[in-house]
Amino acid sequence: MQTPHTPVLYQQVLSALQPSPQGRYIDGTLGAGGHARGLLAGSAPDGELLGIDRDPAALDLARAALAEYGERVHLIHGSYLHMQAYAVDLGWAAVDGILLDLGVSSMQLDQPERGFSFMQSGPLDMRFNPQQGLTAADLVNSLPVDELADMLYAYGEERRSRAIARAIVKRRPLATTDDLTAAVLSVLGPRRRGMHPATRTFQALRIAVNEELTNLPLALEAAVALLECGGRLAVISFHSLEDRIVKQYFRRESQDCICPPEQPVCTCGHRAQLRLINRKPIRADEDEVGGNPRSRSAKLRVAERL
C-alpha cells in the first residue's frame, strides 16, 4: 500500500481528545497512523499510544510512519474488541483518550486485490484482516436468497435487496468485484448520476464480512470501561447505521435512568457514565471536503467519562 492517506477530521479529533504530556491513548483503528501522529506529538515528551488494527498491511505503514516516536508507540495486530486485554498487557489500568475511526480506509479501497471497491476489478474478498474469516465471495455464493436479501437490506439499506439477491443467486458462482457489480447493474441499471448503484450492496457485504455492526457496541463498552475519569472517547462514522449505534449508546450512557418514559418510578438502577461533548455530530468543513472528498460523510461524536 503506497497510497497516501489523509486522516479525516484531524484537527477536530485532536481538539476533542486534548492530548497532554504523559497521557495514554488508544487508536483502535490505526490505519496508516495519521491521527496517531497527532496524538503522539500532542502528548510529547512522555505520552504513549497503543495502536490497533486488523489489517497487517496498514500496521506496516503505521510502523514506518511512527518509527520516530520509538518506545512511546505500541502496535498490535488485532481487533479493538480486545483493547482492554492489550492495555492490561502494557500495565495500563486506564487511558486518557480513545479514537475509533470506523469503516474502510481509502488505502484499502485503492487496493484492487482487497476487493472492497466496485471501481476496480479484483477478487471478492473485503476482509479487514485477510488472514481470517469468510470472504465476500463465500457469502454471495453460499447464503440462501432470503438471507442474502435480508443482509443487503439491513446493512446496506438497499430497497431493491430482494431483486438483487435473486440476480446474484442466478449468476453464481461470483468470483470478482466485476461479477458482483454486473449482478447489481442487471437490476438497477447503469449509473446515471449521484451514488453508484452498487454502493449499498458493497457496503452491506463489507459490514457482514467484518461483523462491523455486531462488534461496534461491544467496542464502545470496552472503550468506556478503559477511560480515566475525564478521559474522552471519539468515534468517527461514515454511514447512518454506525452513527445511529454510537449516538444511541452515548445518549443512553449519559443518562441516570433508562426506564421507559411511562414508568413512574425508576427501577433500572442505571447511572450515567458519560458526558456528551457534542450533541450534534462534528462534520468536515468545505475546505476539508474539497481536499479530501471522503470526509464528506464523516461524523465525529465525542463523550467524556464521568
Sequence ranges of the domains in the chain: 10-101+212-305, 112-210
Q: Is the pLDDT of residue 1 over 50?
A: no
Res. 2 pLDDT band, cuts 50 70 90: very low
Tell me phi and psi for residue 75, to 5 degrees: -110, 135
Say what percent of the chain tops pLDDT 90: 87
Q: How far apart are CA 77 and CA 58, in angstroms?
A: 10
CATH architecture of 10-101+212-305: 3-Layer(aba) Sandwich (3.40)
pLDDT tens digits for range 63-76: 999 999 999 999 99
Where does the pLDDT of residue 5 fall: very low under 50, low under 70, confident under 90, or very high at 90 and above? low
DSSP string for residues in 30-48:
-TTSHHHHHHHHHTTTT-E
Question: Torsion angle of alpha carbons 112, 118, 119, 125, nearest 10°?
Answer: 0
User: Bigger pLDDT: 192 or 275?
Assistant: 275
Tell me how far apart the alpha carbons of residues 169 and 152 are, in angstroms, rounded to a whole number. Answer: 13
When pLDDT is cut at 50, 70 and 90, the band that residue 110 belongs to is confident
DSSP string for 211-266: THHHHHHHHHHHHHHHEEEEEEEEEEESSHHHHHHHHHHHHHHT-S--S-TT-SS-
Amino acid at 298: A
Give this prediction's pTM: 0.94
Rounded to 5°, the CA angle 153-158-164 comes to 90
Q: What pairing do the DSSP bridges indicate for beta strands 24-27 and 73-77? A: unpaired
- Residue 49's closest CA among 85, 76, 9, 77? 76
pLDDT tens digits for range 150-190: 999 999 999 999 999 999 999 999 999 999 999 999 999 98
Average pLDDT, the chain: 95
- H helices of 117-211, in order, are 136-142, 145-156, 161-170, 177-188, 199-210
Q: What pLDDT shows up at residue 290?
A: 92
Q: Which helix (H) or strand (E) holds 84?
A: helix 83-89
Q: Is the pLDDT reported for residue 3 higher than 70?
A: no
CA distance 107 to 262: 49
| pLDDT higher than 70, residue 4 | no
The CATH number assigned to the domain with range 112-210 reads: 1.10.150.170
Domain 112-210 in the same topology as domain 10-101+212-305: no
**263 pLDDT higher than 80:** yes
